[in-house]
Amino acid sequence: MMKLKHKSYIEVIADRNEYISPEVKKYSPTAASWKFYSNLVRIILFNNLKTKLKIYDRYNWANSSIDILHNLEKSGVRFFIKGMDNLHKFEGPAVFISNHMSTLETVALPGIIQPVKPVCFVTKHSLNTYPIFGPINKARHPIVVGRANPREDLQIVFDVGAKRLADGRSIIIFPQKTRQDLFIEKQFNTLGIKLAKKNDVHIVPIALLTDAWANGERIKEFGEIDPSKTVHIEFGEPFKVESNGSIEHEKVLNFIKSKLNQWGREDLIIEE
């Protein structure tokens, strides 16, 4: 277990299956957004400095992730996180496969997973060039794809992904084409399934409802913060690919759909 500065989160991950944010003052979306982003800039700039000093290691990454999660809570956003005991049910690395709704999961998941399993993301190349998020993204061993050539991207994920998994680093992959509220089955590819099968590692499905941090119209990372919307993150049971992958792909789809239904957001599911 890695050492973090936020003891409450260590206890949550180590000893409990779920975490529920405490009740806090509710702000309007405008007030919450102002409060959140003013603090986010401080957090990002501080950790950008750490990347320049070459000290932005896995501990600092997890801590900065938890800082942002706390910042969202202070802005009125509540989290319901479940299934964290599933992170302890297997040895070695895994492929985490998740729907992708907003920027929130990219900053929150490392604080939950990294203390238990070293992890990295599959990310698009443009994230590495962002003036604010870029240096932090590059510092944590991402698998970078361009999205211009799907065949080339597939080979990059297989080749670099195999190296990351061999090093004991789990991989978070979002198989959807882009961040969006809707969960469109046809846009949810099987890349994560293939990667796990090829390297004989476990799959852990993740279901997310993170539209409390909306996607921005001009810059996706800077959308409205709406405390009236609850954040749900749930980890499913780990499993290995025992077939050609179709059964396991359906299993991931069904897990995400069942949780969206459970959270009262069946309106987001597009099965056609």
Which pair of structure tokens corresponds to residue 231? 């954040």
The distance from CA 132 to its chain's CA centroid, rounded to whole angstroms, is 18
Distances, alpha carbon 50 to alpha carbons 33, 38, 54, 123, 136, in Å: 26, 19, 6, 21, 9
- Domain boundary assignment for the chain: 7-270
Q: Which pLDDT does position 179 carry in this prediction? A: 87
Q: Which pLDDT does position 17 carry in this prediction? A: 81
Residue-wise pLDDT for 16-62, tens only, equals 688 888 888 889 999 999 999 999 989 988 888 898 888 888 888 88
**pLDDT higher than 80, residue 3:** no
Residue-wise pLDDT for 152-173, tens only, equals 888 999 999 999 999 999 999 9
Q: Which pLDDT does position 13 carry in this prediction? A: 52
- The mean pLDDT value for 219-239 works out to 93
Mean pLDDT, rounded, of the chain: 88
Q: Which pLDDT does position 8 carry in this prediction? A: 46
Q: Which pLDDT does position 154 carry in this prediction? A: 87
Q: Which pLDDT does position 1 carry in this prediction? A: 39
**pLDDT higher than 50, residue 14:** no
- Counting every residue written for the chain, the total comes to 272
Burial label for 23, CB within 10 Å (0-12, 13-18, 19+), is exposed
Beta strands 143-145 and 94-98, pairing class = unpaired
Q: Which pLDDT does position 10 carry in this prediction? A: 44
Residue-wise pLDDT for 117-142, tens only, equals 999 999 876 666 666 677 677 778 88
Lowest mean pLDDT among 7-16, 124-133, 135-144, 201-210: 7-16
- The mean pLDDT value for 240-246 works out to 94
Q: Which of 140, 10, 15, 118 is nearest to 66 (CA)?
A: 10
Q: How confident is the model at residue 252 (pLDDT cuts 50, 70, 90)?
A: very high
Q: Which pLDDT does position 215 carry in this prediction? A: 87
**Within 13 A of 114's CA, how many CA atoms are on the CB side?**
22
> Cα–Cα distance between 93 and 90 in angstroms, integer?
8
